[in-house]
Amino acid sequence: MHSLSPRHFADADAPYDAARYVLFGVPYDGTTSYRSGTRGGPAAIREASLNFESYLVDYDLDLADVPVCDAGDIEPFSLPDAVVAQVEDVVRDICRGGKVPVMIGGEHSITPGAVRAVAPEWYVVCDAHLDLRPEFGGTRDNHACACRRVYDAGVRNIVIIGARSGTREEYAFAQDLHLYTADEVRKRGMSTVVREVAGIVGNARTYLSIDADAVDCCATPGLGTPEPFGLSPSDLRDLVRALAPTVVGFDYVEVCPCDAGQTAAVAARIIRDFIGCHFRHGREESLL
Ligand code: MN
Ligand code: MN
């Protein structure tokens, strides 16, 4: 099912069976609407991970001591619905083993497959875009429909953070969800928003999806659909740290390595932070 990538995510050297975290890549950008290239995201994020110390001072933890397995990449099919099904199968296996899936994209269209496998109580997503279209480009599995597919999968407790782009219909749909726009985050401060979201989610099983374009494209320009006036990398890290303890599935998608490496660096660093924070403070997931 997996092919081993030439480079491993740094310090993710545990064998699959012994791992508590299974990281895998989905080099897929088949429904890209603007700039293609997110298929290069997993390789770029792994490459960027090699730059960082294995010691995480914030958790007094060496990632080399955390059982993380880099299972390599899925070899994606061409059609998006088939890729979503591939992802669902892989994540179901990971969850069955009581492990936490850490998926790196690839475009956002892959997330609903992972969410269906994890079956969380809450879906929290950071994204410049609402991704609530019923269909786009002739498919319901387009990256622009990711959040809508999660909703359709029955996960109705949804928090969207950092959004600043969508159609009138998408914004109307989002009224039934918990929406924190990028402007609202800036006005109220991320610490306030983080406290509020953590309060809403509580101790419930949460899937956390990070679309790299939630961050301002002036800070991290390696994106398929860049948007200015977004979150800062620190905002994003604050949120990931606050929610990590209750997260049972995590992904970081939409890194398009056409920049000088900033976007992949932020992604790799936040993924490492998520794993460290979750290992220190996270819930033990019971076997599904
Ligand atoms: Mn998205
Ligand atoms: Mn987006």
The closest ligand to the CA of 225 turns out to be 2
Average pLDDT over residues 184-189: 98
C-alpha 108 to ligand 1 mean position (Å):
5
Q: 284 pLDDT band (50/70/90 cuts)?
A: low
Residue in the block written with tokens 């110390």: 53
Q: 170 pLDDT band (50/70/90 cuts)?
A: very high
C-alpha 14 to ligand 1 mean position (Å):
30
C-alpha 65 to ligand 1 mean position (Å):
33
What are the CA-CA distances from residue 252 to residues 40, 61, 111, 209 (Å)?
Answer: 13, 22, 9, 6
pLDDT per position as a tens digit, 7-35: 799 999 999 999 999 999 999 999 988 88
Q: How many helices (H) and strands (E) does the chain have?
A: 9, 11
pLDDT per position as a tens digit, 85-104: 999 999 999 999 999 999 99
- Residue 124, by phi and psi: left (phi above 0), alpha (psi -120 to 50) or beta? beta
pLDDT at 287: 44
C-alpha 58 to ligand 1 mean position (Å):
29
- CB 212 within 8 Å of CB 253: yes
The closest ligand to the CA of 107 turns out to be 1
Domains along the sequence of the chain with CATH: 16-287 (3.40.800.10)
C-alpha 197 to ligand 2 mean position (Å):
20
C-alpha 203 to ligand 2 mean position (Å):
27
Measuring CA to CA, which residue among 149, 146, 151 is closest to residue 163? 146
Helix (H, G, I), strand (E, B) or coil at 98: coil
C-alpha 147 to ligand 1 mean position (Å):
8
Residue 238 has pLDDT above 60, yes or no: yes
What is the Cα–Cα distance from 121 to 206, expressed in whole angstroms?
6
Parallel, antiparallel or unpaired: strands 158-163 and 100-105? unpaired
C-alpha 146 to ligand 1 mean position (Å):
6
What are the CA-CA distances from residue 124 to residues 71, 99, 220, 266 (Å)?
Answer: 25, 19, 21, 19
pLDDT per position as a tens digit, 53-66: 999 999 999 999 99
| CA end-to-end distance (rounded Å), the chain | 21
